[in-house]
Amino acid sequence: MKNGFVRVAAAIPEIKVADCAFNVSRIAALIQQAETEKVQVVCFPELSVTGYTCGDLFFQQQLIADAEEALNQLQLTTFTTTSAVIIGAPLRIQNQLFNTAVVLQGGRILGVVPKTHLPNNNEFYEKRWFSPSTSTHIQTITVAGQEVPFGTNLLFGDGKFSFAIELCEDLWVPVPPSSQHAMHGAEIIFNLSASNELIGKNNYLRQLIEQQSGRCNAGYVYASTGFGESTTDVVYAGNGFIAENGKIIATSERFLFEEQLIVSEIDIEKLQAERIRNTNFCNDKSGVDYRMIKIEEAHYTEFELKRVFDQHPFVPSKANRDESCSEIFSIQVGGLSKRWKHTQSDTLVLGISGGLDSTLALLVCVKTADKLGYDRKRITGITMPGFGTTDRTYTNAVNLMHSLGINALEISIKDACLQHFKDIDHNPEIHNITFENTQARERTQILMDIGNKQNGMVIGTGDLSELALGWATYNGDHISMYGVNSGVPKTLVRYLVDWAAHTIDNTSKEILLDVLNTPVSPELLPAGKDGTISQKTEDLIGTYELHDFFLYYFIRFGFSPEKILFLANNAFEGIYNSDIIEKWFKIFISRFFSQQFKRSCMPDGPKVGSINLSPRGDWRMPSDAVAFNIKSFRS
């Protein structure tokens, strides 16, 4: 296992009905391919040794004998390989015939799992030939000259991960066996299947697999038979799926007239993190005694991941953009609507800088007023130019307030700050932290006092990424009466503003697009000689797309620094080199730990996604915890 990943495969071999010798030859070829690709566990379809569509030929002694001889041949095949192999075969046990999954590794049969739920409908009539697992209490059987464990209560593992097996119809019943397998410790479920194609069935099957992998906090590998099965009455497409915790991560090509090996990696550490957090996970665990069967750990630990990791894990896919953005805005608007009505405030008051965060907050306020049927003039936006304000951000702030029809005010903070510098005996030519934070706190004082004057509620504009990094002035922009963006990371802020720009009037659209193209900056230091922004946040603390990536895996799954660096180097390969990633990750860890005190007293705000840093809910951390040590990615 490399960095918590187990490489698995769903194999779709060519099949000839009732020709066990041919079928074994094709299975053997795919086993060798899986070994070459460093697969640790490979799963074949249901009854892949004989073919699923043998019908009454299953009653023929010769076919059953051929199937057992095929298992003998497969033992020889696996003698020189390290991959664990799961094969579908019919087995005769005490005058009963069972549809089984046979697990082999290193030239041995490790265990046999019988199918529990047998279909009994117009298309499939397995009960005509096979007995369900519940029809026997046998725990060991003799097959291919070996005495091996038999039953549905088998777990297979190497001490670092474990897997269990169900067969086809088992997935489609109200309580699949895999539910109990997962609660008893199986982190990956393998399903040997032979499911025919019907209109719309494939989409339903995908949903089943995604839902079951999500409910079980498990990996799910599904291999269904394809080319070569009888087409007398139905057709098989060769479906192969690999899912992880509710998401399909790899699929086969349907109706392909050639063999396929679908390979990907399951993140075991991610699944374990989910289960640790879900304290209800084992509440309904059965009293069945499960048996753990040892598999050999793969001798290879180094492999390049086939999986592609999203560089922006907080950002929804473009395919669902309208739905996702509408929902996020609805959450923000829903939270603010309740708070506005509850406080009976006459106005909402917020500072408008011409930057991304205040722009999103303003859009939320406008949508909230519209939803409640309030006049937009009940929103007071204040632009407060200071020593670092540029013409670009100032113009965008003023124009956006006017285009959205809110009550717009302009209050310069320069004179007030100069007076304050005089009061505290600070030279305004020294552009240090005092110079910067004085401006942030002056702006907050103005907002709070205007709020008092108007019986208004001050709306915070800071986002989740800034909270994680502590990129806010304590008792300055750190403070508000309700922080509408506190659950929205910076990459998602940009995504939402971009979406809003394409769903709004043309005048506001042009302003929003320019805001999107403006460098992120607190604008607390004087502009450059050419009037452009001199203080660029991402030059100082690192790019937000990296910080959001770090934040997601650090909070959502509690991954170690080494694991996060490994994922980041994979996700951003060719974009940032490992030195840059490591540099900014060290900044992230350092700031995240040192700035917790700001999060310990952060204002209320709505949770939007799976991560939030509210000290009252999702994140409870001591302010004086010691930052984790970070080993070099290359060490």
The active-site residue out of 54, 168, 325, 417 is 168
How far, CA to CA in Å, does 432 sit from each of 175, 183, 426, 542? 63, 56, 10, 20
Angle at 504 between CA 500 and CA 507, to 5 degrees: 120
DSSP code, position 319: G
Is-catalytic flag, 168? yes
CB 403 within 8 A of CB 430: no
Edge-first strand order for the sheet with 407-410 is: 407-410, 379-383, 347-351, 456-460, 482-483
Give Cβ neighbours of residue 517 (< 8 Å, ≥ 6 apart). Answer: none
Active-site residue, selected from the candidate residues 14, 35, 46, 229: 46
Q: Name the strand (E) or helix (H) holding 274.
A: helix 268-277
Please indicate whether residue 453 is annotated as part of the active site. Answer: no
SS3 61: helix
Torsion of CA 625, 631, 632, 635, to 10 degrees: 180
- The residue type of 265 is E
> By C-alpha distance, which of 24, 7, 129 is closest to 67?
24
- Our CA dihedral for 236, 237, 238, 240, rounded to 10 degrees, sits at -120
Q: Report angle CA 298, 299, 300 to the nearest 5 degrees.
A: 90
- Cβ-in-10-Å burial (0-12, 13-18, 19+) of 351 comes to buried
Q: Closest Cα partner for 550 from 494, 632, 468?
A: 468
**Residues across the chain:** 635
CA distance 11 to 261: 5
410-413 CB contacts, 8 Å cutoff, 24+ apart:
410/382, 410/383, 410/384, 410/385, 411/382, 411/383, 411/384, 411/446, 412/384, 412/385, 412/386, 413/384, 413/385, 413/386, 413/439, 413/442, 413/443, 413/446
Q: In whole angstroms, what separates CA 488 from the centre of its chain?
A: 16
Give the CB-side neighbour count of residue 24, counting CA atoms within 13 A: 18
Please work out, in degrees rounded to the nearest 5, the angle formed at the alpha carbon of residue 389 by the alpha carbons of 387 and 392: 155
Packing angle, helices 578-594 and 544-556, rounded to 10: 60
Joined together, the tokens standing for residue 166 give 């169900």
- Alpha helix (H) ranges present in 96-149? none
Catalytic residue among 38, 115, 270, 598: 115
Q: State the Cα torsion 466-468-473-474 to the nearest 10°.
A: 150
466 is known as an active-site residue: no
Report the alpha-carbon distance of residue 164 to residue 113 in Å, rounded: 9
Residues whose CB is less than 8 angstroms from the CB of residue 616 and which lie 6 or more positions away in sequence, other chains included: none
- Could you list the active site residues? 46, 115, 168
